[in-house]
Amino acid sequence: MKNMIDKYSPLPIYYQIEEAIKGRIEKGELQEGEMIPSEREYAETYGISRMTVRQAITNLVNDGYLTRRKGKGTFVANQKIEQKLGLTSFTEDMKARGLKPSTKLIDFQISQAQGKIAAGLGIHPGDEIYEIQRVRLADNIPMALETTYLAADLVKGLNQRIVQGSLYQFVEEELGLNIDYATQELEASVARETESEVLRIAKGTPVLLIRRYTYLKDGRPLELVQSIYRGDRYKFIIDMQRG
């Protein structure tokens, strides 16, 4: 923590503190779950106001580097999982990052398609669909609440055992269907009561809402998925190319 700030620098002191703490986290000098010094300790060490320190800490909390625990202090937050938006399954993504994926099945039922769901799956209202709700976990930490809709005629033989693993693996290897592409919609939202309970976050916590429409090579819709990802554990990366 030596030379963390330079009072003669044109950079605001709160920004210097912010960058110094962030740098220590990114270098691994401060580990996930480690408590950082208190605002008072920083203020006394560097002869600055607690308000200046508080501004730096608050910015780092808002950026996901730190987390406050009431009555305990401020700690280095768990780092977010980076995922490039692409046509891979949750299971494939987690395994690629060396994490152990698992699934908690909340609901599995056959229902009748209505409205936007029927239109999204390219079927008639009233046709049978599988409606599956799952919590997706990485290293036993809940990451997302996922609701999937599939036309029953397209994925015959689907059962509860299969959907607790990789659905894409079943579709491609067991059914011999070729998944081609998907379109996704992303928007910011907040966790409602049910979502906060299953994801183990506070009600009103920021989350990422993603809707995916997946298609087969022959053009038929495969699935419609609505996923709610924890904003404190996930960030998505999009590669863009001009032209």
- Count CB neighbours of 36 within 10 A: 20
> Could you give the CA distance from residue 172 to residue 177 in angstroms, rounded to a whole number?
5
Under DSSP, is residue 168 helix (H, G, I), strand (E, B) or coil? Answer: helix
- Count CB neighbours of 118 within 10 A: 19
Q: Considering the chain, tell me which residue range(s) the CATH 1.10.10.10 domain(s) occupy.
A: 13-76
Residue 139 identity (one-letter amino acid): D
Look at 78 and 118; give whichever has higher pLDDT: 118
The pLDDT of residue 4: 67
State yes or no: pLDDT of 127 exceeds 80: yes
State yes or no: pLDDT of 132 exceeds 70: yes
Residue 84 confidence class, pLDDT cut points 50, 70, 90: low
The pLDDT of residue 135: 92
The pLDDT of residue 88: 67
What is the rounded end-to-end Cα distance, in angstroms, of the chain?
A: 46
Report whether CATH 3.90.226.10 matches the domain 81-237. no
Any idea which of 33-37, 87-91, 199-203 has the lowest mean pLDDT? 87-91
Average pLDDT score over residue span 93-122 = 87
* % of the chain at pLDDT higher than 70: 93
Report residue 87 as tokens: 């046509």
> Could you give the CA distance from residue 46 to residue 27 in angstroms, rounded to a whole number?
22
Under DSSP, is residue 202 helix (H, G, I), strand (E, B) or coil? Answer: coil
Q: Which residues pair with 144 in a beta bridge?
A: 136, 229
Residue 151 confidence class, pLDDT cut points 50, 70, 90: very high
Length of the chain: 243
Average pLDDT score over residue span 33-59 = 88
Is-contact 61 73, C-beta < 8 A? Answer: no
Residue 87 confidence class, pLDDT cut points 50, 70, 90: low
C-alpha distances (whole Å) from 157 to each of 91, 152, 190 are: 21, 9, 35
Average pLDDT score over residue span 129-152 = 91
- pTM attached to this predicted model: 0.66
Q: May I ask the CATH class of domain 13-76?
A: mainly alpha
Q: Give the side-chain half-sphere CA count within 13 A for 132.
A: 26
DSSP letters of 25-94?
HHTTSS-TTPBPPPHHHHHHHHT--HHHHHHHHHHHHHTTSEEEETTTEEEEPPPPEEEE-SS--HHHHH
The pLDDT of residue 106: 92
Residue of 201, 202, 206, 211 lying closest to 189 (CA atoms): 206
Mean pLDDT of the chain: 85
Give CA angle at 60 (75, 201), nearest 5°.
60
State yes or no: pLDDT of 190 exceeds 60: yes
The pLDDT of residue 184: 87
State yes or no: pLDDT of 130 exceeds 90: yes
Q: Considering the chain, tell me which residue range(s) the CATH 3.40.1410.10 domain(s) occupy.
A: 81-237
State yes or no: pLDDT of 80 exceeds 60: yes
Any idea which of 26-35, 47-56, 164-173, 194-203 has the lowest mean pLDDT? 26-35
Is-contact 225 132, C-beta < 8 A? Answer: no
